[in-house]
Amino acid sequence: MYKFLFASLIILLYIGVMDDIVVMRAYKKLVAQVIVSSIVVIGSDIRIRSLFGIFGIYEMDYFISVFFSIITFIVLINAFNLIDGIDGLAGGYSVICSALFGISYYRLGEYNYPLVVLSVIIIGAVLAFLYYNLSNYRTNKIFMGDTGSMLLGFLLAFTSICFIDIFIDREVPGVPKYHLQSAPVVAVAILILPIIDTLNVIIIRIINRKSPFDADKNHIHHKLLALNLTHRRSSFYIIVYYLFIVAVAYYFRHININLLLLVIVFLGFLGAYLPDFVYLLKNNKKTIN
């Protein structure tokens, strides 16, 4: 499992550093992302094998599973890149996601302890980064860049797919059987911020007849900054709200999986548009006064 993971991380690290220094073309980064995702999915067999009944889909054909898993890796790599727009957000959210996955792996038994170690390593590395990222002194301040955000997106895609794979109903010698019918939705809830934020900005760009790859100020963190919140407060409010969504997903984990997915997606988009509602209310009050 890990030899292919480390090989992929080295390639992704090189691409990220090159992009931060030289600024690579988008298609070159995409090719690299396809390569590293394929190495892990095919080489390590880390893939989404079943959707547990989402849209009536259970066990997937091998080639469909491989294709879907590679797409999942690519989407999450780029989604984390997009939320890295203010201090503390991508790093803080990564710490929370890794902590949630790490606790889950720990509770699921010693067979999953290597994944616990991986989660702890991610938390430790990101906490060290956040110390300087949130520094008030410009001389000490550092930023994540494409290198950090792509690596974190890749690692969290890896841990989330491993999380889903644990609950597949299959016999593996020496491995305890676990069951959580809503495992894919719980994983989506944990990673809901980058997923919803990416979907939201793409939808808005398409409606405005712009390229989905054009930069704009429609990200959730940009909307909070428009309310005159600081980077720290914006990151804090976003993380707290999406922790609420994780709590909802976990509490209702035993209900119908499609209904739970609908609830989680609704709450995700609600969080994306709450800053717009607050902004309109503030402007209306100013107009009335």
Q: What does the alpha-carbon distance between residue 60 and residue 42 come to, in Å, rounded to a whole number? A: 15
Is 146 annotated in a binding site? The answer is yes
Residue 56 and residue 192 in contact, taking contact as beta carbons nearer than 8 Å: no
Residue 227: phi, psi to the nearest 5?
-90, 10
Q: What does the alpha-carbon distance between residue 218 and residue 157 come to, in Å, rounded to a whole number? A: 24
Residue 4 and residue 44 in contact, taking contact as beta carbons nearer than 8 Å: yes
Kindly report the number of other CB atoms within 10 A of residue 194's CB atom: 27
* Residues 6 or more apart whose Cβ sits within 8 Å of residue 150: 12, 15, 16, 33, 77, 78, 80, 81
Q: What does the alpha-carbon distance between residue 125 and residue 68 come to, in Å, rounded to a whole number? A: 29
Closest CA to 80 of 135, 24, 158, 11: 158
Is 256 annotated in a binding site? The answer is no
> Which residue ranges are tagged as binding site for Mg(2+)?
81, 146
> Which residue ranges are tagged as binding site?
81, 146
